[in-house]
Amino acid sequence: MELTLKREYFQDGTNGEIYLDKEKICSSIELPWKENQKQISCIPEGRYQLKKRFSQRFKWHVHVTEVPSREFIIIHPANDALKELKGCIAPVLQHTSAGRGINSRFANERLKKLIFDAFEKDEEVFLKIIS
């Protein structure tokens, strides 16, 4: 399975839409693009394999693997990129402004279920990030 994240870049954050084929799954927010600097920039455009991962803080979540010069980039809930993200991707139901959205927990669960269902079928899952 391959998901596509289509981005728009703004000074205060990056807004996106996540699709499976032509069906929109949810919107997303990220930090603004700052040359892939750790903890202050969104990750570069490209194609990344997604994996299932567990941590005490986020429990079972989605890990974006093999990001150049970065590690532990994950998909997790957040409604304000500048306050709650350090390079990760946050699904949201709707954007409210650049790098901000609403109902992130709901959007995250929707996206996570889709991805985890693919993992249950032993499918590889990829995220292609484009602008």
- Residue-wise pLDDT for 29-43, tens only, equals 999 999 999 999 999
pLDDT digits (tens, 9 = 90+) for 77-120: 999 999 999 999 999 999 999 999 999 999 999 999 999 999 99
- pTM of the predicted protein model: 0.96
Domain range 2-130, CATH class: mainly beta
Could you report the per-residue pLDDT of 10-62, keeping only the tens digit for each?
Answer: 999 999 999 999 999 999 999 999 999 999 999 999 999 999 999 998 899 99
**How buried is residue 104: exposed, middle or buried, by Cβ count under 10 Å (0-12/13-18/19+)?**
buried
